Amino acid sequence: MTMLLPQKFRERIKFAIFLLESLPDILVIILLQLLIIMIYKKTDILLMKVVAVGDERAYLLPIICLALLPTIQLYRLCLHLFEEEFTKDYVLLTRAKGLKHSFILVVHILRNTVISMFLDSKKTIWYMLSALVVVGTLKANANYDSDCPLLTTSWLPANSE
């Protein structure tokens, strides 16, 4: 869909993605929590649980935290691969034949970029696993860290006052 936009808008989107991708994981997680809290304070509508208390669990926010940054990374990779394919000779030939931009994008370019996306998905999986460690450490949620003692907060020093 982004590739159907004019070049000026695509450059703005790529810049926004670059900024979002350059933020550290921990900052994104904290900003998402603060955003949920600010919305709750302003509107008294709790979009999702931020912390787990007692037997209750906060599921949605950790899932969003885990999915957001890899999604941005995959989107950036997809844009890069599409733009790279648009410079190939066969695309210039199909444009010279008078085929529509959307037809070229769906039939020719998408087919070739899916293979590259699949090959690069290994990096994204490793990225998600590292984000899992960060989210698990921050949330100290039993769903994330019950099997791994390094992800619990029990090793942190007690607050001595």
**What confidence score (pLDDT) does residue 142 get?**
42
pLDDT at 31 over 80: yes
Q: What pLDDT, in 10s, does the model give residues 36-95?
A: 889 989 998 888 877 766 677 777 887 887 788 888 888 888 889 988 988 889 888 988
Identify the H or E element spanning 39.
helix 25-43
Owning domain of residue 38: 2-151
What six digits make up the tokens of 44? 């008294």
Domain assignment of residue 158, yes or no: no
pTM: 0.68
Domain assignment of residue 157, yes or no: no
**What confidence score (pLDDT) does residue 140 get?**
59
C-alpha 31/C-alpha 52 separation (Å) is 18
Domain assignment of residue 161, yes or no: no
For the chain, the average pLDDT equals 79
Q: What percent of the chain has pLDDT over 90?
A: 6
Give the number of residues written for the chain.
161
Mean pLDDT of 107-119: 87
Among the ranges given (2-11, 31-40, 74-83, 136-145), the one the predictor scored with the smallest mean pLDDT: 136-145
C-alpha 15/C-alpha 91 separation (Å) is 25
Domain assignment of residue 11, yes or no: yes
Cα 129 to chain centroid distance, Å, stands at 13
Domain assignment of residue 77, yes or no: yes
Domain assignment of residue 92, yes or no: yes
Q: How confident is the model at residue 155 (pLDDT cuts 50, 70, 90)?
A: very low
Domain assignment of residue 99, yes or no: yes
Number of domains the chain is built from: 1
**What confidence score (pLDDT) does residue 15 get?**
92
Domain assignment of residue 159, yes or no: no
What six digits make up the tokens of 65? 């935290």
Q: Classify 60 as helix, strand or coil.
A: helix
